[in-house]
Structure 1
Amino acid sequence: MGLRILAKACSCLATGFLLVLVATTSSAFADPLGLVDYPALFERHADRVTVSSDGVETLVLPSGITVRHTNKGYVGTDPTDAIGCLTYFFVEIDAAARICPSLMSKEEARAFADQRSRLLGFYAKSAFPPAAANKASEAYEAAVAKVVQRGRSCSKLENVRMMVPGLLEKERFDELFASPKLPVSNPCL
């Protein structure tokens, strides 16, 4: 639902951010804010972990989210909407708005801040183990700072404006945030 909102706008927006994060570690791709303790998650749900002949460990959580552990790290897949992917979009749009303050009206900026707050609160309580909201905010701000450092020009950020309205529709996110679920990034547009 939430990610399908964004798909209509522009799937190319997160590509640069995803490439930066994927280049760092697979765990960063699985959890863009770095709040999930994957070894502890696998230990806690050891009875649900299967190991393939090539050594890949797979954990299927009751929510349907699948997490794979390979020699390259962790990759989580959500069959519905990946909160981690949604987080990437928020980071990109937030960074764009900081580079180009005219990207959003004052009303849009307030609504975006409200949605971001909801997202980060949801993300924190959905991490394993649940994290303090300030930890999610700190990690988010660090991710935004990395994107801002790329130093893009406002003219190159115009496509971001198309995505803002979908992120401001509170009702569309009520269902997405209804039940905590591990914040993974796959699939991402």
Structure 2
Amino acid sequence: MNRRRTRPAVALLTAAVALLATGCGIRGTSVPVDAGAAPSRASCEAPEPDRAAEGTGRVRVRIYLPCGSRVLSLSRSMRLPKEQPPPEPVQIARALLEQLRQPPTAAETAAGFSTAVEDWVQVSGPASDDPDRALRLNRPPEELQSMALAQIVCTFGESTAADEHHRVVLGGPESDRDPLKRYTCTEEMRRHPEIAVNSGVLVS
């Protein structure tokens, strides 16, 4: 065999192996490549409510928690205020807000749920000139994280804290400076919570 012909053939074979080893001809690099976030394995499937937590004086309620980039509803057992006649809207709102402030349960966390509502968020009833079902937060709603506001609007909207059309009237703590706005939990808000802070309509 002619050695002059063998050497080029060996060189070509060596080059082909090198190309395969570097990923089909893609040259390796020491520079980090941002391929985006790793795929989430969260199921976002609401876990079954804890039956052991149910009992006298407790009711099933629906609250909204973030999972991924959305807010989704799930069921919890909650103790309602004992006042008779039935609790006022602000009492319902406070009990629901307490649920939103709580860390998710182990099952909720495993499914990918979290909460954006921080401990400092408080709610009170209407000021003297406000509509009956108005609720006032201790900060203007637009100063909350949009995800947190979407949680509050959607959770309150499925309760007696809202009006018959599931609309929620919210304002900040100062009635003379923080105008009331009406919020509605739409499908778009549930899918895109970032729109919540700009979705309020002034109450005339």
Q: Per the shorter chain, which TM-score range? A: under 0.3
* Higher helix proportion (structure 1 or 2): 1
Q: Which has the higher contact order (CA 8 A, sep 6+)?
A: 1
Larger strand fraction of residues: 2
Give the number of the structure whose alpha-carbon radius of gyration is greater: 2
